[in-house]
Amino acid sequence: MEILGYRRPDGKVGIRNHILIIPTSVCSSTVASNIANQVPEAVALPNQHGCCQIGADHVQTVRTLVGFGKNPNVAAVLVIGLGCEGIPIRETAAEIEGSGKHVEVVVIQESGGTLKAEAEGLRKVSELVRKVAHLQPEKVDLSELSLAIECGGSDFTSGLASNPAVGKAADLLVAAGGNVILSETTEFIGAEHVLAGRAKSQEVAEKLFKIVNDCEARAKYLNIDIRDGQPTPGNIAGGISSIEEKSLGCIYKAGHAPIQDVLEYGEIPIGKGLYIMDTPGQDIESITGMLAGGATVVLFTTGRGTPTGSPIAPVIKITANKRTYTMMEDNIDLDASSIISGEETIEEVGHRIFAEIIAVANGRRTKAESLGYKEFGIYKIGSTY
C-alpha cells in the first residue's frame, strides 16, 4: 500500500512539510513565536527549558530539540538562541544539519536585541521557505510511516473499546512494515509483566522492567505515592478504579506485535516494528518524546475528551464514549462508541482507524490541526540549578 510523503535527504519520509523554528531556551521563545506568526509555513516550539539544566536533564532537552529538528515532518529549521544559555546553540543546529536539511541560526545577543533578531530571523525563514518550496509529496510505501500511540482523559470506554481498536490499527501498520511507538511508563505499572511477555528477547524484557522500577523508585525517593496522581481525578470520575486497571487498558493500544526494544525519551528507533518509549504519563510530554523519536502521526484515544495537538504532526483523536463525542465533536476525529453499542466489532473499528491514518497521511487535516492546537512540552527529569 502507498501513501503520499516527503522524502528527506536522510532517506526518511514525512507526511507534513513544516519550517520549524526552535528556540534553544525559554528566553528566545517569544522571538521564535513572533517570527513564526509572520510566516504561514513556519511553526515555533514553545520551549520552556534550555538553561540551568545539568546532567541527564540537559542531555534529554538537547536530544528532544534535535529530534524535533530531524523529524521527517520538518523540511527546514531555524535555531534561535539568546546567547548565554546552557544549550549549545550552534552545536544543536549542526546536529540537525547532519540529517541533510537546511538549517539557519540566529543569536539574539549577537544580533543586537530582540527586534533586530526578529528581522534577521524573518529574512532567514523567508529564505528557507523559498529553498523548500519546490518539494512535492511523492508516492511512498506505507512502511515509511511512524506511528505514536497515546491515551489521555481515559475513562471506562478506553480500555474496553478505543484502546483495543487502536491496537488493531497498530498491528496492521506493523504488518505493513511500519513503526509504532507506545509510551507512558507510569501506565505500565501493574501490567508490565504482560508487556514483557511480548519482548523479543530477555534483554528487552529486562529493560522494560527497569524503566517501570525506576519510575516507582523516583516517586519513593521523593516520599510520594504515584497513586495520588494515577488514576487522575478525571479517570476516577470516568470509572477507572486503580492504576493497575488503567495500565491494563493502556497497553491494549500496542496490539499484539513483538516488542523490538525499549527506547529512552526522544530516542529514534533503528529498526521497524513495535517499540516502547520511556515517558511520563502526562500526554503532551509523552507525545513530545515520541515525535522527537521520529513519529510522524499520532493516534490519541480519550474517554473524557481533549483538544491536544502538536506543532509538527497530525494528532488523530478517538473516543468510544458517545457523550464525549457529541459534546466535543469539534475536537474529536473518530467516534468508536459503536463498539460499546454493539454495532461494530473492535476489529471493524480498528480497520476504520487504519483507514483514517492513511487519509491523514495523504493530506487530510485532523481537527487539532485545523484548529491550530500545537502543544509541546519536554519531560523534565532533574532540578534546575
Return the domain boundaries, the chain.
Answer: 18-132, 142-371
Q: Would you say residue 283 has pLDDT above 80? A: yes
CB-based contacts of 359: which residues, under 8 Å, 6+ apart? Answer: none
Give the bridge partners for 241, in sequence order.
Answer: none
Confidence of residue 233 (pLDDT cuts 50, 70, 90): confident
- What pLDDT score was predicted for residue 246? 72
Cβ neighbours around 10 below 10 Å, total: 11
Mean of pLDDT values over 119-147:
97
Q: Give the dihedral sign, CA 321/327/329/331.
A: negative
pLDDT of 130-142, one tens digit each?
Answer: 999 999 999 999 9
pLDDT of 210-224, one tens digit each?
Answer: 999 998 888 888 787
pTM of the predicted model as reported, rounded to 2 decimal places: 0.95
- What pLDDT score was predicted for residue 295? 98
- What pLDDT score was predicted for residue 218? 85
pLDDT of 316-331, one tens digit each?
Answer: 999 999 999 999 999 9
List the alpha helices (DSSP H) in the chain.
29-36, 55-70, 89-97, 108-111, 114-132, 156-157, 163-175, 192-196, 202-221, 233-237, 243-250, 283-292, 322-327, 338-341, 346-361, 367-371
Q: Which fold has domain 18-132?
A: Rossmann fold (3.40.50)
- What pLDDT score was predicted for residue 88? 96
Confidence of residue 160 (pLDDT cuts 50, 70, 90): very high
- Least confident piece of the model among 55-64, 153-162, 229-238, 301-310: 229-238
- What pLDDT score was predicted for residue 248? 76
Return the C-alpha cell found at 91.
552545536
CA distances from 60 to 64, 115, 141, 278, 323 (A): 6, 30, 32, 12, 39
Q: Would you say residue 378 has pLDDT above 90? A: yes
pLDDT of 80-102, one tens digit each?
Answer: 999 999 999 999 999 999 999 99
